[in-house]
Structure formats: structure tokens, C-alpha cells
Amino acid sequence: MSWSIVTDTNEDLVNQLQDCHAVENEIVAKAMKETDRKFYCKLKNPYVDQPDSIGEDAIISAPHMHAYALENLVEVIKPFSKILDVGCGSGYLTSCFARIIETKAQEKNVPPSGRVYGIDNSAELVKLSIENIKKDEPHFFTEGRIKIVQGDGRKGLMECAPFDVIYCGAASKEIPTELIRQLNIGGRLLCPVGEKGNVQKMEQYDRLNYKDVARKVLTNVMFVSLTD
């Protein structure tokens, strides 16, 4: 049997992801409800659980995949977290991360002092993610809560490291050693690993201390590859 969610509002899309347990965490649900997919996706109906082309061989992941990433990262995000979104593409997850920081700050009654850095190697997609996020929530830029840069995300973003969370939205052919190196103690990296066309694995790396990192293979996935 095969099925997919098709609906006509962003709120209902997330409700349905909750009904089928793709979204379980309330903070993730809130962030996804506040981040309307219509700002990030060119589909006539953006409220379908499908990936879509955003140009330049890039793809906005399907909502259940965004949910999967956020569900696995939400517990390590703090009001003061520094987050790196590698291959930020549409900018959708970058905004969700900023919103999770906001909610975590509200819960603790502290200012949302964290910052989300989006990095993409495509100038076109850097422009697109900035435009999309501005349409959704311009204060993310005016308040300095999101910064988008152009560069090779395989090298991380050394000048802003270490990061408490790193998410990689494209697959790495080998173990992403430079990203692991830029993880803060207590920080988590989620990265698809494997060749294009082969089964890739979503891998999770948790930095335990200065020298030890715990690796966990989460699930099989299919992502575009990190490119030169």
C-alpha cells in the first residue's frame, strides 16, 4: 500500500504528520506549523508530503523528512544554541531551527540568544533561501537570529565553530570529519552518508567530550550529494 498526505493548509499538513507519528514532539509541531511551506516551495499546492525541485539540482525535502531531522535534533537545541544548516537550499529548516530556539527560550524565560547559520555552495540558492526566509519572517535577519553564507559546507564554517547542532541536507560520500570536528561538547550532527544512487544512511554523531564521539546509524535515506 502506498499513500501520501495531501491537504490544503500548513496547519493540517502538520496535524496529519502528527496523526501518523512522523511528528511527536510539540516543539517540532509548533515550529513546523509556524513555518508555512508556501514560502519555501514552488508547488501549486505546497501542502503535500513530497519533495520538490527548487532549481540548481536541489530539492526541498518532503515534510516528513524535515520532521525526521527536527525530531532527532530538538532535544539538544537550547535557547543559546549555535546551529549550522549545511545545504540550506530553500531555507525551510533554517527557519524551523530559529523557531525552536525561540520556543526553548520562551520556556526558560530567557532571551533567544542562539543563532542559525545556513550555508550553501550555490549563489542562486543562497539568494533563494534569503528571499524565502524574508517573506516568512523578516525579523530573523533584522534581529541577527539567522545568517546565510555562501561556501563549501563540507568544510563547515570554521570562523563560527563550535556548533551545538549541525544538520547536513545533502549526502557526504565519506564520514564528515570536518563537521564532526566543529561540534561542541554535547553537540549533535545529523548527516546522510553514502554515494548517490546507493542506499545512504542517516548518521548521528554526538560529541561526548574533547576526543570521543558516539556514532549511531539511524535509517536509510535518499539525498542529493554534497558537490564541489
Kindly list the distances between the CA atom of residue 161 and the CA atoms of 40, 83, 84, 131, 137, in Å, as whole numbers in the listed order.
Answer: 27, 9, 9, 25, 25
Task: Work out whether 86 is an interface residue with ligand SAH (CB under 6 A).
Answer: yes
Binders of ligand SAH: how many residues, by CB under 6 A?
A: 24
Choosing from 154, 202, 203, 207, the residue that interacts with ligand SAH (CB under 6 A) is 154
- What backbone phi and psi angles, to 5 degrees, belong to 161? -70, 160
Active-site positions? 61
Residue 169 vs 194, nearer CB to ligand SAH: 169
Candidate residues 36, 120, 136, 164; the one interacting with ligand SAH per rule CB under 6 A: 120
The three state secondary structure string of 36-79 is CHHHCCCCCCCCECCCEEEECCEEECCHHHHHHHHHHHHHHCCC
Site for ligand SAH contains 184 (CB under 6 A): no
Does 73 interact with ligand SAH (rule: CB under 6 A)? Answer: no
Q: Which of 52, 152, 178, 206 binds ligand SAH (CB under 6 A)?
A: 152
Decide if residue 61 touches ligand SAH (CB under 6 A).
Answer: yes
* CB 85 within 8 Å of CB 119: yes
CB atoms within 10 A of CB 3: 7
Catalog residues that contact ligand SAH under the rule CB under 6 A: 56, 58-61, 86-87, 89-90, 92-93, 119-122, 125, 152-154, 169-170, 224, 226-227
